[in-house]
C-alpha cells in the first residue's frame, strides 16, 4: 500500500526530505560527539550544530512549506498516515512559531552556563551557587509555558512538550494510584528479604573486554540486526536513529557490577527495536519515529525489566555469562535473577530498581510542579526534597549531591520531562499484560524463538505505526485504554510478591 497518495501530501513529503536530511546530520553530530569525537573537536562541532539547528528552524518555517501544511490540514480525505504527518508537522511548526528566538537563545545561554555551575556545585556539594541559575531557568520555563499557552496549569504546556497531549491531571492521577501501592510493595519486599538482601555479586569487578563480548552475544540472542544497527560506548547510554535502517545504541562500562552495563544495553536495545520496527515506508518522513518519549521508554523498560529481569532470561544468558565473565559461575539462574532484580530504596534515581524507581519520579514531579507554579521557592527546595524523599522512599539525602543536585535535567532546562520515565514503566507493564493476553505470558515466551515472536508481535501491533497516531490515540487503539498505573502495580505484585509468571 502506498501511504502518501494525496498530491499535496506527496509534495510535502518530498519537500520534507531536506528538513529530514538536516536532522539526520544533527543526529549524526550528536552521536559522534558522545562516542568518537576527539575532545577539542567540540570547538567546531558546537558551531556546526548551532548553524544546523538554525537551518532546521528556517527550513521548517519557510512560508511555502508552512502554507502547504496549512492547506493539507484543511483536507478531509487524508488517510491516517497523511493525517499523522500533518499533526506532527503542525505541532512542530506551532512550537517553533510560538517560542520567540530570543527566548530560545536566552534559555540555551542560561542552561549552558547552568550546566557548568551544576557540575561544579555537585562536585563541591554546594547548593548556593546553583540557586540563581535554577531560578532563572524556572522563570524562563514559565515564560515558555505562557508563550505556548495552556488551559489549567502552566506545567501542562511543559508536559506537552515532552509528551504530546499529557496533562498535569494525568500524571497526578497516575501517582495518586501508584505511590501508595509502590510503598506497599516495597514494604513487603523489604520485610520478606528475598529481593532486598545484599547480593554477593553487588559491586564485583569485571573485565571490560569480556563484558563487551557478553553484550554482543546478548544482542545476538535478541536478534539485534547488525546490518541496520550498532552498539558503541559512551558515559551516558543512549539510542539514536539516523533513519529506520541505521539505529545506534551505546552502553557503558564502569568496571564493576556487570548488571549495570548489561541492563543499559538491553534498555537501549528496547529503544532501538522500536525504531527498527517502524514501517519502512515511513522512513525519512515526519512520522518515521517513535510516537512519544513515554511510549519509547515503554519499549526500553519492557525489554530491560519485563524480559531482562526475569528468571527465564537469567537462565537463558547464564551460559554465556559463565563462559565470558567467570564471576557468575558459582551462582544458579535463580541467584542470578535475584541479583538482577534486587529491590532496595536508595538515594540515587539512576541506580533505583523497578519498585522504587517511580517513587523517585513522584518526588521530582511533586517538586517541579510546585516550582513552576510558584508554590515552592528554590531556597526551600533542598528541605522539601528531603521531606518528600523521606515520606516516599524512607530515605533522606545527607548532602546536595545525593539529593537535589543529583540529576542533570533541571540544569539542562528540562521541566516536565521526568514524568515520561514513569509513563514508560506503565506502558511496559501494559505491553506485558497484552502479550500475556494475546500470545502468552512474557516469561513463558522467553527463548531464542520466543524473542522473535515477541518482537514480531510488537512490530505489527505497536511499532510499525511510528508516530502516525498521537500517543494517547495509539494506546487507545492498541490497548483499549491509555496510561494505566494499575497494570504496573499488578505486574510488580506478581513479580515481587507472588513471585509468579506475568
Determine the 3-state secondary structure of 405 from DSSP. coil
Pick between residue 65 and residue 337 the one whose CB is nearest to a copy of itself.
65
Q: What's the grid cell of residue 5?
A: 497518495
Q: Which stretch binds a copy of itself (CB under 8 A): 174-182, 236-244, 381-389, 460-468?
A: 236-244
Site string for a copy of itself, 45-84 (x = CB under 8 A): x-xx--xx-xx-----------------------------
| Cα gap 161→156, rounded to integer Å | 9
Give the closest residue to 311 by CA, choosing from 337, 284, 276, 273: 337
Can residue 36 be called a binding residue for a copy of itself (CB under 8 A)?
A: yes
163 belongs to the catalytic site:
no
> How far from the centroid of its chain's Cα atoms is residue 140's Cα?
24
Q: In angstroms, what is the minimal distance from the CB of 148 to a copy of itself? A: 28
Of residues 15-34, those binding a copy of itself (CB under 8 A): 17-18, 20-21, 24-25, 28-29, 32
Give the closest residue to 295 by CA, choosing from 90, 31, 473: 473
> How far from the centroid of its chain's Cα atoms is residue 397's Cα?
25
Catalytic residue among 82, 163, 164, 268: 268
Pick between residue 284 and residue 386 the one whose CB is nearest to a copy of itself.
284
Helices 42-60 and 80-98 cross at an angle (nearest 10°) of 110
Can residue 329 be called a binding residue for a copy of itself (CB under 8 A)?
A: no
CB 409 within 8 A of CB 402: no
Residue 362: count of CB within 10 angstroms of its CB: 25
Order of strands, sheet of 247-251, starting from the edge strand that comes earlier in the sequence: 229-233, 247-251, 239-241
| Cα gap 46→109, rounded to integer Å | 13
Q: In angstroms, what is the minimal distance from the CB of 229 to a copy of itself? A: 6
Q: For residue 38, what are the contacts with CB-CB under 8 A and spacing of at least 6? A: none
Of residues 281-310, those binding a copy of itself (CB under 8 A): 283-284
Q: In angstroms, what is the minimal distance from the CB of 42 to a copy of itself? A: 8
Instruction: Report the residue from 2, 74, 227, 498 that binds a copy of itself according to the rule CB under 8 A.
Output: 227
Can residue 176 be called a binding residue for a copy of itself (CB under 8 A)?
A: no
Of residues 394-433, those binding a copy of itself (CB under 8 A): none
Q: In angstroms, what is the minimal distance from the CB of 24 to a copy of itself? A: 4
Instruction: Report the residue from 39, 76, 203, 235 that binds a copy of itself according to the rule CB under 8 A.
Output: 39
Can residue 230 be called a binding residue for a copy of itself (CB under 8 A)?
A: yes
Of residues 239-268, those binding a copy of itself (CB under 8 A): 242-246, 248
Pick between residue 24 and residue 90 the one whose CB is nearest to a copy of itself.
24
Q: What's the grid cell of residue 165?
A: 497531549
Q: What is the DSSP letter of 3?
A: S
Site size for a copy of itself (CB under 8 A): 38
Residue 296: count of CB within 10 angstroms of its CB: 22
| Cα gap 54→56, rounded to integer Å | 5
CB 447 within 8 A of CB 271: no
Q: In angstroms, what is the minimal distance from the CB of 211 to a copy of itself? A: 17
Q: In angstroms, what is the minimal distance from the CB of 29 to a copy of itself? A: 7
Pick between residue 56 and residue 127 the one whose CB is nearest to a copy of itself.
56
Q: In angstroms, what is the minimal distance from the CB of 262 to a copy of itself? A: 22
Q: For residue 444, what are the contacts with CB-CB under 8 A and spacing of at least 6? A: 312, 450, 501
Give the closest residue to 438 by CA, choosing from 418, 449, 453, 420: 453
Residues that bind a copy of itself (CB under 8 A): 17-18, 20-21, 24-25, 28-29, 32, 36-41, 43-45, 47-48, 51-52, 54-55, 226-230, 232, 242-246, 248, 283-284
Q: Which residues are catalytic, by number?
A: 268
Amino acid at each position: 500500500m502506498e501511504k502518501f497518495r494525496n498530491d499535496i501530501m506527496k509534495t510535502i513529503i518530498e519537500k520534507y526530505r531536506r528538513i529530514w536530511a538536516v536532522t539526520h546530520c544533527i543526529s549524526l553530530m550528536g552521536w559522534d560527539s558522545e562516542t568518537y569525537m576527539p575532545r577539542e573537536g567540540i570547538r567546531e562541532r558546537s558551531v556546526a550544530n548551532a548553524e544546523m539547528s538554525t537551518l532546521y528552524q528556517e527550513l521548517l518555517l519557510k512560508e511555502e512549506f508552512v502554507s502547504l501544511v496549512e492547506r493539507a490540514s484543511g483536507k478531509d480525505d487524508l488517510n491516517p498516515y497523511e493525517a499523522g504527518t500533518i499533526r506532527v508537522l503542525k505541532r512542530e511548526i506551532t512550537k517553533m512559531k510560538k517560542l520567540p528566538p530570543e527566548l530560545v537563545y536566552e534559555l540555551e545561554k542560561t542552561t549552558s552556563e547552568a550546566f557548568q555551575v551544576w557540575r561544579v556545585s555537585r562536585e563541591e556539594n554546594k547548593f548556593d551557587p546553583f540557586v540563581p541559575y535554577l531560578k532563572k531557568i524556572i522563570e524562563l520555563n514559565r515564560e515558555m509555558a505562557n508563550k505556548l499557552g495552556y488551559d489549567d496549569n502552566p506545567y501542562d504546556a511543559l508536559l506537552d512538550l515532552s509528551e504530546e497531549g499529557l496533562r498535569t491531571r494525568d500524571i497526578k492521577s497516575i501517582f495518586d494510584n501508584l505511590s501508595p501501592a509502590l510503598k506497599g510493595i516495597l514494604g513487603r519486599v523489604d520485610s520478606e528479604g528475598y529481593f532486598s538482601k545484599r547480593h554477593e555479586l553487588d559491586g564485583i569487578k569485571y573485565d571490560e573486554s569480556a563484558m563487551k563480548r557478553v553484550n554482543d552475544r546478548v544482542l545476538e540472542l535478541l536478534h539485534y540486526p547488525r546490518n541496520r544497527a550498532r552498539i558503541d560506548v559512551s558515559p551516558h547510554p543512549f539510542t539514536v536513529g539516523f533513519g529506520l535502517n541505521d539505529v545506534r545504541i551505546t552502553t557503558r562500562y564502569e568496571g564493576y557490577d556487570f548488571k549495570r552495563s548489561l541492563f543499559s544495553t538491553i534498555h537501549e536495545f528496547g529503544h532501538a527495536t522500536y525504531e527498527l520496527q517502524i514501517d519502512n515506508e515511513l522512513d525519512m518522513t515526519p512520522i518515521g519515529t517513535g510516537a512519544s518519549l513515554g511510549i519509547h521508554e515503554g519499549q526500553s523498560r519492557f525489554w530491560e525489566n519485563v524480559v531482562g529481569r526475569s528468571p527465564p532470561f537469567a537462565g537463558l544468558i547464564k551460559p554465556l555469562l559463565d563462559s565470558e565473565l567467570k564471576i557468575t559461575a558459582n551462582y544458579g539462574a535463580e541467584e542470578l535473577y535475584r541479583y538482577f532484580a534486587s529491590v532496595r530504596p536508595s538515594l540515587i534515581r539512576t541506580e533505583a530498581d523497578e519498585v522504587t524507581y517511580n517513587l523517585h519520579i513522584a518526588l521530582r514531579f511533586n517538586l517541579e510542579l510546585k516550582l513552576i507554579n510558584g508554590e515552592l521557592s528554590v531556597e526551600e527546595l533542598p528541605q522539601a526534597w528531603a521531606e518528600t524523599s523521606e515520606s516516599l522512599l524512607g530515605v533522606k539525602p545527607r548532602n546536595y549531591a545525593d539529593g537535589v543536585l543529583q540529576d542533570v535535567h533541571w540544569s539542562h532546562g528540562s521541566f516536565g520531562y521526568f514524568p515520561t520515565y514513569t509513563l514508560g514503566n506503565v506502558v511496559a507493564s501494559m505491553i506485558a499484560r497484552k502479550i500475556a493476553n494475546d500470545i502468552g505470558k512474557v516469561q513463558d515466551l522467553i527463548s531464542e524463538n520466543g524473542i522473535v515472536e515477541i518482537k514480531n508481535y510488537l512490530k505489527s501491533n505497536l511499532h510499525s505505526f511510528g508516530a502516525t497516531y498521537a500517543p494517547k490515540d495509539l494506546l487507545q487503539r492498541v490497548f483499549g485504554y491509555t496510561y494505566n498505573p494499575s497494570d504496573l502495580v499488578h505486574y510488580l505484585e506478581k513479580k515481587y510478591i507472588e513471585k509468579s509468571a506475568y
